[in-house]
Amino acid sequence: MRAVDFFDPAVGGGSMLDNAGAGGGEPLNVIISGLSSADVLSDTGIVNYARAIGFSTECFGVHLGDPQSANLGDGNGFVNQTIELRQDFGDPDVGTCLESLVGGNHFRVYRQNGPTANSGALFLARSQSHTIAPNGYNVGRDRLSSSAIGTKSFGSVTYTTVGKNLTGLLLPGATGVNHGIATDGITTLLTVTIN
């Protein structure tokens, strides 16, 4: 177990917006706490947890679009996303092919593990639809949170997730946000425990 939920990226010169390329960023509007069970915070663990809440790896392992990067203020500077997970429409094997074609929920994962702020927390950039629907960042965050909170299981692993909303990390509004879509400034913190 880590000692903290996460470190505020801004304190270490980072940002709660990733770098999406074209001058804007997607909000890192969900954080999986560093106080979560250690196995959840590993690369294989986050994939299994994602499958428990309706997401999976990309269609046949093929990534559409360029990876994005984020600076979590942990001393690592800008680092490419660890993984991108997509809504699986009820089929963890091939359901993400449909998401890649028609859009839906997806999230990018960034790990805060640098030498100056090693919380182990996972910062998620959440959005809804490839074209980013109006209010899509808020909607994507809320849908992921509602799918996650409570008790879920996959692959013989059972998870209990509790969540709380935080303000003060993200600025409300559209300044610096990809596609110019305003956010409400809320970040949801999820703490995930393996039962």
**Beta strands in the chain, from DSSP E residues, in sequence order:** 30-32, 55-56, 69-71, 78-80, 83-87, 105-111, 122-128, 150-154, 157-166, 187-194
Q: What is the DSSP letter of 53?
A: T
Q: Which of 152, 117, 156, 139 is nearest to 8 (CA)?
A: 117
119-132 pLDDT per residue, tens: 999 999 986 654 46
Range with lowest mean pLDDT among 12-16, 132-136, 166-170: 132-136
pLDDT band at 60 (very low <50, low <70, confident <90, very high): very low
Q: Domain locations in the chain?
A: 9-194
Q: What is the pTM assigned to this prediction?
A: 0.87
